[in-house]
Structure 1
Amino acid sequence: MVYELPSDIHTFHFNTIHLNKKTTRESGIKRFLKILGPGLITGASDDDPSGIITYTQAGAGFKFATLWTALITFPLMAAIQGMCARIGMVTKEGLSGILRKHYPRVILYTMMLFSFPAILLNIGADIQGMGAVANLLLPGVPAWAFSIIFTGALLFVIIKYPYGKITRILKWLCITLFLYMIVPFMVHADWKDIGKHTLIPTFHADKEYLLILVAILGTTISPYLFFWQATMEAEDMKQEKKVVVNKRILSDMATDVNTGMFFSNLVMFFMIITTGAVLYKAGVRDITSIDQAAKALEPLTGKLTYILFSLGVLGTGFLAIPVLAGSMSYVLAEAFNWQQGLDKKFQQAKGFYISIIIALLVGLLLEFSGISPVHALLYTAVLYGLTAPVMIAIIIHICNNKKIMGKHTNTTLSNVLGVLTFILMLVSAVALVYYQFK
């Protein structure tokens, strides 16, 4: 006897396959979003208001001539941050804890001596930038009042909420960076010219161009990001009670870090396009503050672009300042063996939280000190430039030390990229110091 199949069996089979593919695709997206964490936050926080000033200066001063740097900084950032992440995952400690246990104390204290002033100046420049931009949106409230309000709000969130809640907030704040990716499509940009300058490096034999290249490197490859990345990976391992580091965990980490660094460089790329297409074309060559950049964009591109740009500054400030202050507090806590962690209550880790409070209050005081954000960023760049090459050399050494990393030491590719980053940052540091004191 022959049984006939239902006439719609093929349709049923096709729909089943289609639904399975859709479900698989959706579960893949959910898994990807779940993987994103410390790497995404680290990369996004790199595009803080002070970084936006640097990218704005690059576009306004040299149009699209610095776009090619995004292709260089991405693999170098991903390599170094990947090493820092692996250190945190394998050792379940931050970089300062490793330095305290395995290296002469003088190295740790020297890093702290140079890094902390830079971090404080960076926090101050970001708070000032946020206050100035908020004042443009609501002119009735003075910039200094906004700075106080933002500092208070940040301290409230950092102290009140546990690590898991804070990281979720920071991940949502990453969405604000998409604002910077919308703006270039709202202006008339020459995409053929953009493609040419992206793929073919351009050099100008003058001091200003060299300094903007050094500034871009200093902004994208910053020592505080090294400390934060390692510590957050260690925190994640403890939070999720992961004991063994396996290939799956390392693969997820690489996806997270690479996504974060790609995202960071993409924002830099689009910011340079926006300011190059608008400000350079209009003859606005010298941008010295965030609010000046916003003011310059408004009459040229319209109210909406101006508002999107300003909201992006506020979002990235709220994202970056906890990372800056947190990285400093974790370094102090690990260096002096204090109780630490954003998952702990204030009473359980007083020294850790007090150092965060002090960092934000010192940063806030810059609003009233008379130090301009531009000067603060200049000093920050010099201090970061001095510490970055040393920290990169130490990170490479740690990642090749089997006593510390076990079987998870660097691959040949990681070492090559690490050494290239070290050489580039060393040359940049020498050039920066030379031109500042010439």
Structure 2
Amino acid sequence: MKNLFKNIGPGPLVAAAFIGPGTVTLCTLAGINFGFGLLWALLLSIFATVILQEMAARLGIVTQKGLSETLREEVQHPILKTLIVTLILSAIVIGNAAYEAGNISGGALGIETLFGKFKFAGLDVWPILIGISAFVMLWIGNYKVIERSLIALVVLMSLAFIVTAILTKPDITAVFKGLFTPRISNQNILTVIGLIGTTVVPYNIFLHASLAKTKWDSKSDLKYARKDTIIAVVLGGVVSMCIVICAAAVNQKNIANAADLALGLQPLFGEFAGFFLSIGLFAAGITSAIAAPLAAAFVTSGCLGWKSNLKSKKFRMVWAFILLLGVVFSSVGFKSIEIIKFAQVANGLLLPIIAGVLLWIMNKSNILGPHKNALIQNILGIVIFAVTIFLGGKTILSVFNVI
């Protein structure tokens, strides 16, 4: 058991990053509007995420560098390098700053569902307390402390959502039908794009490479990294599926988020269902509130050539700025639609670029030697690359209301 926990690495942190309040809300709406019918989209996204995250972890361990550092060194053309670095910083740093308020607000919503609102001097107190908790954990600057804290929260979140799904007693035959029968229509296409896009996240690829080199420094550890990635991403996917299953059990259309879902489940399946769902929402919010600033700090450090030291002033300055914005915006209820739209467009552009560049790097013998991609990994990677182009294009078009 000691060895098992010793070799649990960045995987749970990656799962914590992609299962935030936004994912919880999207899965809730998918279940409310389409029942079990879109579970196949989550299955597809889990598969794609495992492939890309395994490549990122392998790159970090073999090179002992993050993805942004490797990109800065390998892209030689000055104009191309500037464009890529600018896009990465725009999508990851501004994007995470835009979404951080949602992460903190989501965690606060989970607490509010359990204990009610708590205001002081006109400000919501729960977002401030969540922000302080995230700040303390990141300020300690100890990877093991952050890792173990997030693993505990991810386990709590997973158990909460899985138990809630079991309490709803879903039709197992219908669940399997939804998993293995892909259906796309004009009505569900944007939700499908959202479910895949919220799981295959660009900043997680950067985060995973940076955390893998922090956790492991020997190529013999690759087997542990691979196992860690598969288990964590699959568990994260199961959590997302459980949220869809919970939402599918409620025959109400006036549910807008997981807090509404928690209240909707109580009369049908008892107070425990709502209680567990609220705990899951809180854990999803606080884990993402920690992971998003951390990812932004790693990306910024790599792009600008800083040392990726958790205790360095520049590193702390980046995550503290993003965390502070999130706390302020969530406490006063500020929502900048334009900033979020910009982040969505930047992420839509970034995902296929990063998937393509990652594939390119993973085939370079001078970087990875014998650990470069095998034929099957390249075939799967190319298929995923094509999917990311489709997703990116649809995301940008949907932001501008073209589709």
Fold conserved between structures, TM > 0.5 = yes
Match 2:162 to one of 181, 193, 199: 181
RMSD: 2.1
2:133 is the counterpart of 1:153: yes
Map of 1:213 onto structure 2: 192
Match of 2:145 among 140, 158, 165: 165
Give the number of equivalent residue pairs. Answer: 392
TM-superposed CA distance for 1:354, in Å, is: 1.3
> Per the alignment, do residues 114 and 405 of structure 1 end up closer, same or farther by CA in structure 2, a change over 3 Å counting?
same
Residue equivalent to 1:423: 386
Residue among 403, 408, 433 paired with 2:366: 403
Between 428-437 and 93-102, the greater mean CA deviation after superposition? 428-437
Displacement of 1:377 after TM fit?
6.5
1:24-423 aligned within 5 A = 29-103=1-75, 104-142=81-119, 144-176=124-156, 177-203=158-184, 205-206=185-186, 208-237=187-216, 242=217, 244-246=218-220, 249-278=221-250, 282-284=251-253, 287-342=255-310, 344=311, 349-367=312-330, 370-372=333-335, 380-423=343-386
Q: Deviations over 1:341-364 (max 9, x none)?
A: 23x3xxxx1111111110101112
Aligned in 2, Cα 1:57/1:115: closer, same or farther, shift over 3 Å?
same
DSSP-derived class of the 2:371 partner: coil
Identical counterparts, % of pairs: 22
Q: Which moved more, 1:365-374 or 1:111-120?
A: 365-374
Distance 1:436 1:106, change over 3 A: closer
- Residues 92 and 299 in structure 2, CA contact (< 8 A), matched pair in contact too: no
For 2:313, the aligned partner's letter is: K
Between the aligned partners of 2:212 and 2:83, the Cα distance in structure 1 is 25
Name which of structure 1's ranges 134-143 and 100-109 shifts more when overlaid on structure 2.
134-143
What 5-or-longer segments of structure 2 have no aligned partner? 76-80
Deviates more, 1:87-96 or 1:287-296: 287-296
Query: Aligned-pair distance for 1:318?
Result: 2.1
**CA, structure 1 residues 256+140, in 2 after alignment: closer, same or farther (shift >3 Å)?**
closer
Code of the residue aligned with 2:174 in structure 1: it is: D
1:301, 1:212 → 2: CA distance?
27
Counterparts in 2 of 1:297 and 1:117: CA distance versus 1, 3 Å: farther
Distance 2:395 2:26 in 1: 15
1:288–1:374 contact (8 Å) kept in structure 2: no
Structure 1: unaligned runs, 5 residues or longer: 1-28
Provide closer, same or farther for how the CA distance between residues 296 and 288 of structure 1 changes in structure 2, counting only shifts above 3 A: same
* TM-score, normalisation: structure 2: 0.91
Larger Rg: 1
**1:7 alignment counterpart:** none
Question: Residues of 1 paired with 2:132 and 2:160: CA distance?
Answer: 25
1:340: Cα distance to partner? 2.9
